[in-house]
Structure 1
Amino acid sequence: MTRATLEKEPHEVAAMFDDVAAKYDLTNDVLSLGQARLWRRAVARAVDARPGQRVLDLAAGTGTSSLPFAAAGAYVVPCDFSLGMLREGRRRHPRLPLTAGDATRLPFADGVFDAVTISFGLRNVQETDAALREMRRVTRPGGRLVICEFSHPTWAPFRTVYTEYLMRALPPLAERVSSSPDAYVYLAESIRAWPDQPALAARLAAAGWTRPAWRNLTGGIVALHRAHAPS
């Protein structure tokens, strides 16, 4: 894979994540300068999983993002379309019910989850709007959606510095810590092509979610979008 666009072939993206599965969590911690753990904690607070609730964690990768929900007493289903990620996740977390699935055609019945969340995965889905509608389908009326995704820094000077980091510093650094540096070239370019915060909120509303809102993390490098399924 050379250059990234938002027209993604699912098998290419899945193969890319298969290649980086073994070192994925470590690489993310290094390349985010330690911020990835803070972002995961923010997601856990926003989802606010409770004992007995059902939580769908999409693009869960190795299952690391699902652990806080399980620790809160919820029944969490980590779901990903990369079999390599799922195999690594089963090795690390054999008790989690890791499930293979495509975000645009989820293998779950209507309205079965109290909350659906996806972190740093919506950007990699070929049909974003179809995925947002599918997430709504499997969420119970009044249930919640939490999306954590790279976004657009809100302060213009910082946005310039951040873009320089993405395109110049991140790929060479990825060569040192990642098993597949090309995947992080894709990462940098796909972040630049992704909609900004208001645009994603508008897409949530168009997909049928109510009360879409967002909170910027790390100056807007990441945005936490929240919405609810119609009651």
Structure 2
Amino acid sequence: MTRASLDKQPHEVASMFDDVAANYDLTNDVLSLGQDRRWRREVAQAVGARPAERVLDLAAGTGTSSLPFTRTGAYVVPCDFSLGMLREGKKRHPWLPLTAGDATKLPFRDGSFDAVTISFGLRNVQDTDRALRELHRVTKPGGRVVICEFSHPTRAPFRTVYEEYLMRALPPVARAVSSNPDAYVYLAESIRSWPEQAELAGMLQKAGWSKVAWRNLSGGIVALHRGTKSQ
């Protein structure tokens, strides 16, 4: 079984996600106590996809995260660099235009999308700044970005309890439900090393996004960042 290291070598991360593709959605549901469904509803609402808009769903995995956008009548491109995830997604949703692509060098022309979004995937990219610039590049002027990512609880007592869960409780639970529990040890470590909410907002601004804002979900376990590409 493969476990990625925190230097996030692309081949290691892709191979790790290949290993967990079959049970990935179910495992996330169990480990988040069902909260991942709520978080994804919040993403869909924040993106606000409209009929005939083009939406890029980056790090889409099996394509589950793309389904809410298709229901609005938008044209959605689910993109991921794990071929194992994409193969599993093609079995489940053969009609989706699942596309292989690296967040740091996206296979799309400038200004291709009205909205771009990535949920629980930016943390796994080796060069975050470059990925944010790429998302900016492929977005139309006036378009929007929505990033949903694990973050850091804002209240100190809750933060302590949460970090204890990540490092002590999550790995044993993962061993019970996942085909590659070591992947979820990496998950816990990568969450702890991820930037604070305000720091990620600054990275978005540095990449060219304007009107950057964020709000916390589940007490800061997850943060939803938004931005706009200037006209």
Distance 1:45 1:92 in 2: 24
Q: Is the 8 A contact 1:66 1:78 kept in 2?
A: yes
Distance 1:8 1:17 in 2: 12
Shift in Å at residue 2 of structure 1?
5.9
Match of residue 49 from structure 1: 49
Shift in Å at residue 126 of structure 1?
0.5
Shift in Å at residue 8 of structure 1?
1.0
Q: Is the 8 A contact 1:3 1:189 kept in 2?
A: no
- Same amino acid, percent of matched pairs: 77
Match of residue 205 from structure 1: 205
Amino acid at match of 2:132: L
Amino acid at match of 1:170: L
Match of residue 121 from structure 1: 121
Match of residue 70 from structure 1: 70
- Let me know the Cα RMSD of the aligned residues: 0.9
Q: Is the 8 A contact 1:54 1:114 kept in 2?
A: yes
Q: Which runs of 5+ in 2 are unaligned?
A: none
Tell me, what secondary structure is at the counterpart of 1:61?
A: coil
Shift in Å at residue 3 of structure 1?
7.5
Q: Is the 8 A contact 1:216 1:223 kept in 2?
A: yes
Q: Does 1:105 align with 2:105?
A: yes
Match of residue 13 from structure 1: 13
1:70-107 Cα deviation digits (max 9, x unpaired) = 01100000000000000000000000000000000000
Q: After TM superposition, what 4+ stretches of structure 1 lie above 2 angstroms from structure 2?
A: 1-5
Amino acid at match of 2:192: R
Q: Is the 8 A contact 2:4 2:183 kept in 1?
A: no
Match of residue 149 from structure 1: 149
Q: Does 1:224 align with 2:216?
A: no
Q: Is the 8 A contact 1:3 1:185 kept in 2?
A: no
In structure 2, do the counterparts of structure 1 residues 165 and 4 end up closer, same or farther at CA, with 3 Å as the change threshold? farther
Q: TM-score, normalization: structure 2? A: 0.98
Q: Is the 8 A contact 2:3 2:13 kept in 1?
A: no
Q: Does 1:83 align with 2:87?
A: no
In structure 2, do the counterparts of structure 1 residues 3 and 102 end up closer, same or farther at CA, with 3 Å as the change threshold? closer
Q: How many residues align?
A: 230
Q: Which runs of 5+ in 1 are unaligned?
A: none
